[in-house]
Homo-oligomer: A and B are copies of this chain.
Amino acid sequence: MRASRFFISTLKEAPSDAEIVSHQLMMRAGMIKRLGSGIYTYMPMGLKIIRKVEAIVREEMNQSGAIELLMPLIQPAELWQETGRWDKMGAELLRIKDRHGREFAFQPTAEEVITDVVRTEIKSYRQLPLNFYHIQTKFRDERRPRFGLMRGREFTMKDAYSFDRDVAGMQASYKIMYDAYVRIFNRFGLKFRAVAADNGAIGGSGSHEFHVIASTGEDALVYCPTSDYAANMEAAEALPVNASRPAATQPLVKTATPGATKCEKVAEQLGLSLAQTVKTLALTVEHEADGKLTKQYFTLLLRGDHELNEIKVAKVPGLASHRFSTEQEILDVYGCVPGYLGPINTKLPVTVVADRTVANMNDFVCGANEEGYHYTGANWGRDCAEPQIVADLRNVVEGDASPDGQGVLAIERGIEVGHVFQLGTAYSESMKATFLDENGKPAPLQMGCYGIGVTRILGAAIEQNFDDKGIIWPAALAPFELVLCPMGMDRSEAVKETTEKLYADAVAAGIDVILDDRGHRPGQMFADWELIGVPHRVVIGDRGLKEGNLEYQGRRDSEATAVPVADILAFVKGKLAQ
């Protein structure tokens, strides 16, 4: 490509609404252009990168036996009503009425449509397994779109859907997709991590997220550097800090802690470690039976320095639909204002749910259910009953033991760019998508679904790879692999001739090369390509040519390397092969 035949438009300053680096750099490099809130035109420089992402995804999907089709953007409401998602999805689902008043959704995902396709196409177990995918525009009407392509409204996603005859088949299909994702992210040249995830609202029995590692990522990833264990924060299992409970050594003492409603303050006033304190959370669960409302109260206990994990709380039996207790309920149950609550001597019966670590603590500090007082030296069994429920309630922290017993946990930040799910029969049952098994009996299809945020990859790749000059693309995603920068092509016949020959040779060698023939000054030319992030650059100038050399510089290199003209193509090829 010659720059004069392409469209290059760079900016010195990013618009003020671009809050994060990838958004700023994509705007400055002329890769995207805002049309509306969370809606962008992919300019030629950006589209070229998107096409590279799509090509790698497509190749690996095809390689793994998935079959490409293309499902429509505008989908009848009736299908979404069959699964109940028409109501469940809320305002994020963009709803549309056609000229006849019929209702449709702009697809945010395509479980309903693919299940509709498959329930009429698949009759027998002999047709299974099957995996269909498409790379298609999606729309999610985010309440607060931001961060450019990272949290836009209109975006591109690859979504695949597998269909199997039984759970073992579904798990095999899932494994094939998981492995394909590993190949895809490796080919992108990005540092990534696959982590076990909670299935959440989509339902089903198992899932993994694929994250691009970046210090600016909004998700915390938990992993064990000495084993394969990896999960996101929601799903990472926290073991008790002490494997077993030491015996009591202190008496229970009520101590004045005036104004100390937080564990940090209590520990400070008492001169104790935060790890000796226990914090109490009061929850209420309402039950309705025969038109009568009854309330059940729960005391949740966490070590003072630990953080509550809401997802885990919701999984505790009886707590699926809980809420925090009101101040009045707290007064009724504990006889005390918030800030001094504890498990000892409550006024009304409560179910005590202790985090695993708390259950194994001795001589701990907790609220005395009396304003301005805490207990020290509290011990289970002696000062109050053993907790009725012991459960994993907290987020893991760095240094926790890995649940697989193979080391200790570390935490890093990531950006979610892929997600694979075992759906089971969640959709096939509600939509009656069945097949005839070996005995001629109808059975629901076992499904999996597999997404990659195609346009989001661009933002994530930049968050991982940039410096103060601009973007640093891995070669596989770069809009161009190589840029040729001639110095004064219009003045020097030698520069022109060498440049044109190198350009022709690079094209013939299959290198995605751009020749900057715009006639800009070196400073502007270099600044543009460093901002755009082309990984390899060759400068052709009279000074070097006098000694038979060209100047090669990698985007991460601090200095240029002189390379003889005759060797340059092989040199660049070598760099590209690294």
Expressed in whole angstroms, the minimum distance between the Cβ of A149 and any Cβ of chain B is: 12
Task: Decide if A70 touches B96 in the complex (CB within 8 Å).
Answer: no
Interface string of A290-316 (1 = CB under 8 A from B): 000000000000000000000000000
Number of A positions contacting B (CB below 8 A) = 47
A6 to B47, CA, bound (A): 29
Residues 98-121 (chain A) with a chain B CB within 8 angstroms: 98-99, 104, 106, 113, 116-117, 120-121
Contact of A98 (CB < 8 Å), options: B70, B132, B141? B141
- Which of A35, A75, A91: most chain B Cβ within 10 A? A35
Contact of A154 (CB < 8 Å), options: B65, B73, B113? B73
Expressed in whole angstroms, the minimum distance between the Cβ of A106 and any Cβ of chain B is: 7
A71 within 8 A of B: yes
A499 to B113, CA, bound (A): 37
Task: Decide if B69 touches A44 in the complex (CB within 8 Å).
Answer: yes
Chain B contacts for A143, CB-based, 8 A: 99
Given A47-B68, A68-B44: A73 in contact with B35 (beta carbons within 8 A): no
Chain B contacts for A117, CB-based, 8 A: 33, 41, 43
Given A96-B96, A98-B94: A71 in contact with B141 (beta carbons within 8 A): no
Task: Decide if B73 touches A73 in the complex (CB within 8 Å).
Answer: yes
A41 to B113, CA, bound (A): 9
A566 within 8 A of B: no
Task: Decide if B65 touches A5 in the complex (CB within 8 Å).
Answer: yes
Task: Decide if B7 touches A40 in the complex (CB within 8 Å).
Answer: no
Interface string of A19-39 (1 = CB under 8 A from B): 000000000000001011001
Chain B contacts for A41, CB-based, 8 A: 69-72, 113, 117
Interface string of A125-143 (1 = CB under 8 A from B): 0000010100001010101
Q: Write the chain B residue with the least CB distance to A141.
A: B99
Interface string of A37-80 (1 = CB under 8 A from B): 00111111001001000000000000001011111111110000
A9 within 8 A of B: yes
Residues 506-532 (chain A) with a chain B CB within 8 angstroms: none
Q: Write the chain B residue with the least CB distance to A90.
A: B99
Task: Decide if B96 touches A67 in the complex (CB within 8 Å).
Answer: no
Q: Write the chain B residue with the least CB distance to A51.
A: B68
A153 within 8 A of B: yes
Chain B contacts for A40, CB-based, 8 A: 72
Chain B contacts for A6, CB-based, 8 A: 67
Given A35-B113, A137-B137, A153-B74: A42 in contact with B65 (beta carbons within 8 A): no
Chain B contacts for A120, CB-based, 8 A: 33
Q: Write the chain B residue with the least CB distance to A9.
A: B121
Chain B contacts for A139, CB-based, 8 A: 73-74
Chain B contacts for A92, CB-based, 8 A: 99
A121 to B10, CA, bound (A): 10
Task: Decide if B70 touches A42 in the complex (CB within 8 Å).
Answer: yes
Chain B contacts for A39, CB-based, 8 A: 72, 74-76
A130 to B6, CA, bound (A): 9
Expressed in whole angstroms, the minimum distance between the Cβ of A231 and any Cβ of chain B is: 33
Contact of A96 (CB < 8 Å), options: B5, B42, B94? B94
Expressed in whole angstroms, the minimum distance between the Cβ of A480 and any Cβ of chain B is: 14
Given A36-B76, A117-B41, A153-B74: A69 in contact with B96 (beta carbons within 8 A): no
Known contacts A7-B130, A35-B75; 16 further A-B pairs (Cβ under 8 A): A5-B65, A7-B67, A35-B116, A36-B72, A40-B72, A41-B113, A42-B70, A44-B132, A73-B137, A74-B94, A94-B96, A94-B98, A96-B96, A96-B106, A99-B141, A106-B106
16 contacts across the A-B interface (CB closer than 8 A): A6-B67, A7-B132, A35-B71, A35-B113, A36-B104, A39-B74, A41-B69, A41-B72, A44-B68, A50-B70, A73-B73, A74-B153, A74-B154, A91-B99, A96-B106, A137-B137
